[in-house]
């Protein structure tokens, strides 16, 4: 197979991409995303039915645009890869049912992709402007996104051992909920926290590194979220000029306090993440770690992991960390097509582990 069309609609975005494999390198020749982010910001988060309605409107224009951008005709596409789950059921259905129809109408093989595994395949994408080595096996993978914080040992393509993951909130959720609490943004809080953290003092506030000493590869971020809430509350009681509260929402008036809170939070999340993933690599005697998922775009995470781990760190370009169809198309090159297209069902509960996440 040489050319794969990828489709990804697991949350609020509608995205399609075309990947081409040349000399064992995967290149993305077109990548189109329609997002309902402005609508979410207005309503304070993703409303599943509304997201699916927007995706229904967007899917055909997005597909038309991606084919146009790639300057390809349908005959030149060898297969269709689609994110089967996990995600919001209404959203997944848009991508999965569209992919099934296209597979039948165009007579192309259909490849179902677990969205979580798909995130890791962003590491196989090679951009001529940012050449990077493709991962080799065995390798430790850390998936850090809005809904997942998982550590996996990959022995080969589609052959992995789940080592551990979050017992409650994901790292991305901790960034998002804290950003909301600090009055920064209702959605996608990670980039905002990272931006303010740039000029903040990460030692200004003492926050916990949950489960850091536990004898496993698990995470827990719910307590950290509560700690930042307690810190903000106590600050607002002490100094109403720097933080005020109205209707359970905080506004941080003092920009340096905001920067310091963001830097302290980011450092606590980063420290917690890297401690366990390095422990996993050392325990399994593996000298490569690959990052994946939206939080993998975080510059401090990449920098500190590089500093503390004496092996190789691989991470996708930031644009391929957050949800995108390029990673789904890339994963398609290493997965099996279905024998019968009509067998495919969207599965909102797919995971990497047998344990519910
Ligand atoms: O992988 P993703 O796009 O969606 C899921 O599958 O969940 O990840 C979204 C998450 C959000 O929590 C967002 O705040 C976080 O990734 N994120 C970041 C950064 N960019 C996105 N977190 C920290 N630093 C960033 N630069
Ligand atoms: Zn994702």
Question: Which pLDDT tens digit goes with each residue over 181-195?
Answer: 998 987 789 999 999
Beta sheet of 110-114, edge-to-edge order? 25-35, 13-22, 3-8, 79-85, 110-114
Is 37's pLDDT higher than 80? no
pTM recorded for the entire structure: 0.94
Predicted local confidence at residue 1, as pLDDT = 79
| Distance separating alpha carbons of residues 2 and 19, to the nearest angstrom | 8
Predicted local confidence at residue 354, as pLDDT = 52
Tell me how far the alpha carbon of residue 52 lies from the centroid of ligand 1, in angstroms: 20
Mean pLDDT computed over 91-108: 98
Mean pLDDT computed over 260-264: 98
Predicted local confidence at residue 357, as pLDDT = 36
Window from 24-28, 33-37, 303-307 with minimum mean pLDDT = 33-37
Is 75's pLDDT higher than 90? yes
* CB-ligand 1 contact for 13 (6 Å cutoff): no
Query: What is the atom index within ligand 1 of the atom nearest the CA of 189?
Result: 14
Tell me how far the alpha carbon of residue 105 lies from the centroid of ligand 2, in angstroms: 28
* CB-ligand 1 contact for 147 (6 Å cutoff): yes
Share of the chain above pLDDT 70, in %: 99
Mean pLDDT computed over 178-182: 93
Query: What is the atom index within ligand 1 of the atom nearest the CA of 322?
Result: 3
Predicted local confidence at residue 248, as pLDDT = 74
* Residue nearest atom 8 of ligand 1, based on CA coordinates: 294
Predicted local confidence at residue 356, as pLDDT = 37
Q: What is the mean pLDDT of the chain?
A: 94
Is 322's pLDDT higher than 70? yes
Tell me how far the alpha carbon of residue 119 lies from the centroid of ligand 2, in angstroms: 6
Q: Which ligand is nearest to the CA of 184?
A: 1
* CB-ligand 1 contact for 316 (6 Å cutoff): no
CA 217 to the chain's CA centroid: 19
Predicted local confidence at residue 129, as pLDDT = 81
């Amino acid at each position: 197979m040489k050319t794969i069309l990828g489709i990804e609609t697991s949350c609020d975005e509608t995205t399609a991409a075309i990947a081409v494999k040349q000399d064992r390198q995967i290149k993305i020749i077109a990548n189109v995303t329609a997002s309902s982010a402005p609508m979410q910001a207005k309503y304070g988060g993703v409303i599943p039915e509304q997201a699916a309605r927007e995706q229904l409107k967007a899917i055909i224009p997005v597909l038309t645009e991606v084919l146009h951008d790639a300057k390809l005709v349908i005959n030149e596409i060898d297969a269709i890869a689609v994110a089967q789950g996990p995600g919001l059921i209404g959203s997944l259905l848009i991508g999965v049912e569209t992919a099934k129809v296209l597979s039948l109408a165009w007579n192309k093989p259909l490849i179902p992709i677990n969205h979580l595994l798909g995130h890791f395949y962003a590491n196989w994408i090679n951009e001529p402007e940012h050449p990077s080595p493709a991962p080799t096996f065995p390798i430790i993978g850390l998936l850090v996104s809005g809904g997942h914080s998982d550590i996996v040992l990959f022995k080969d393509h589609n052959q992995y051992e789940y080592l551990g993951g979050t017992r409650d909130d994901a790292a991305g959720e901790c960034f998002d909920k804290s950003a909301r609490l600090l009055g920064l943004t209702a959605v996608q809080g990670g980039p905002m926290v990272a931006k303010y953290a740039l000029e903040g003092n990460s030692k200004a506030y003492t926050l916990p590194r949950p489960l850091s000493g536990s004898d496993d590869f698990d995470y827990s971020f719910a307590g950290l979220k509560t700690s930042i809430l307690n810190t903000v509350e106590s600050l607002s009681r002490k100094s109403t000029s720097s933080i005020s509260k109205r209707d359970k929402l905080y506004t941080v008036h003092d920009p340096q306090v905001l920067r310091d809170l963001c830097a302290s939070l980011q450092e606590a999340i980063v420290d917690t993440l890297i401690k366990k993933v390095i422990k996993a690599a050392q325990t399994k005697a593996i000298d490569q770690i690959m990052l994946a998922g939206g939080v993998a775009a975080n510059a401090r995470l990449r920098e500190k992991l590089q500093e503390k781990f004496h092996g190789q760190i691989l991470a996708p370009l930031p644009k391929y960390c957050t949800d995108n169809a390029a990673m789904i198309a890339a994963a398609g090159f290493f997965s099996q097509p279905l024998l019968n297209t009509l067998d495919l069902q969207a599965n909102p509960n797919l995971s990497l582990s047998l344990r519910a996440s």
